[in-house]
A and B are shown apart, each in its own frame.
Chain A
Amino acid sequence: MTNLTEDSQFNDRIAEFTDMVLSRNKDIDMNDSYQQDEFAKLQKTILQMKKAVQLAQPDASTSARIRKNLLIARNKSNYPIQNSKATNQKRVRFFAIASSFVLLLLIGVLILPMGSSDVPLMGAADGISPLEGIILVAGIILIAIIIWLNRQR
């Protein structure tokens, strides 16, 4: 039980030391800290690790080079970020047109049969007027276009 508590305290001390090292900008002098064997060994490793991370940072020229190459790659390809505004506008326009067609189709289907019942048109097929036929064909074409566009996306 005592060993367990000691172990846990040791873990806390290592964690606290790491927090302190990482929150400070200047280097910590090892002589200021505890000198117990195990603890000192881990402290030294923590300091080495912190220094290594500082050395592993990109310099200004590397950072600029990666950024430039990233911009080139982005401009070459059609990544969503580049065209998302345009894509959204296209989508809105497409849905506006599609909704108008559907609305027209609905109006045609609901209203026209009532008006056309009294005056039969010459040459029209039985039970369906030419206008209804056109609207029906337009509707089928529209549905086909919507399906095709959805597949393209």
Chain B
Amino acid sequence: MNHQTINLSILSDEELAHLAKMGNQDAFTLLYERFLPTVYARVRFKIPEIDVEDITQEIFIAMLRSLHSFRSESKFGTWIRAIANRKIADYYRAKSVTQVDEPDYENTASNSQHDQAEQFKQQDDLASIQHALTQLRQNHQDILLMRFVDNMSFSEIARQNGQSLEATKSLFRRSVAALAEKMQEDVLEND
């Protein structure tokens, strides 16, 4: 079993998806482990914290259900990102919510006051980025998430969006500038 897992770990996402389609449970588990961090972070940036776990789970269940329709010629990362985006859109359609909730400080466990203060600050930083990000135009949100969360290179993003590398870098810069602007606005509003 262990030997099999070691062998599987050298396979590409697409090869794992093919094995998972054939019923290989270890391949599915490995795919889950590879994509949980990016899927979770993507959802975390788009959806109120309280629902992040449920939506992440729904995305993986949807992946499980539609794995048979995945074609190995396409990139698995692109495919699962499309599922994630669809689920996030479904969430907002069903709930008709548009804003990310404030972080739930009461449920944050901590050992000392200093740790707690640090944790609150970190949660605050995350919440302010989340809030600013959700206010951006869709293409600005997309490129920031692709580069920071999905860890795609600029060339990969350019290929995915059907743009030149120059245009992609320009869009990225404008997106970072828009994010900085929104965060500044939020700070001024809160003051």
Contact = CB atoms under 8 A, between A and B. Distances in A.
A binds B: yes
Interface of A: 7-8, 10-12, 14-15, 18-19, 22, 38, 41-42, 44-46, 48-53, 55-58, 62-63, 65-67, 69-70, 73-74, 79-85, 88
A44 B64 CA distance: 39
B53 A82 contact: no
A48 B126 CA distance: 9
Nearest to A21: B148
Given A66-B36, A81-B25, A48 B173 contact: no
A22 B151 contact: yes
A85 B22 contact: yes
Given A52-B125, A81-B67, A85-B23, A42 B36 contact: no
Question: For A81, A82, A85, which residue has the most chain B Cβ atoms within 10 angstroms?
Answer: A81
Interface stretch (B1-9, B54-62, B71-79, B89-97): B54-62
B84 interface: no
8 contacts: A42-B176, A48-B129, A51-B125, A56-B40, A56-B149, A73-B57, A81-B67, A88-B23
Contacts of A81: 20-21, 23, 25, 28, 64, 67
A66 B55 CA distance: 10
Nearest to B41: A56
B21 A45 contact: no
A22 B122 CA distance: 19
Contact of B129 (A11, A49, A63): A49
Interface residues of B, number: 46
A70 B32 contact: yes
Question: For A22, A49, A58, which residue has the most chain B Cβ atoms within 10 angstroms?
Answer: A49
Given A42-B176, A49-B179, A74-B64, A82 B122 contact: no
Contacts of A42: 173, 176-177, 180
Contact of B169 (A14, A41, A50, A69): A14
Contacts of A12: 169
Q: Determine the main DSSP class of B at the interface with A.
A: helix
B125 to A, nearest CB: 6
A18 B157 CA distance: 14
Contacts of A38: 177
Contact of B40 (A11, A18, A50, A57): A57
B42 to A, nearest CB: 9
Contacts of B129: 48-49, 52
Nearest to B64: A79
B47 to A, nearest CB: 11
Interface string B129-160: 11000000000000010011101011000000
B169 A57 contact: no
Contact of A66 (B60, B122, B149, B153): B60
Given A53-B41, A56-B40, A80 B53 contact: no
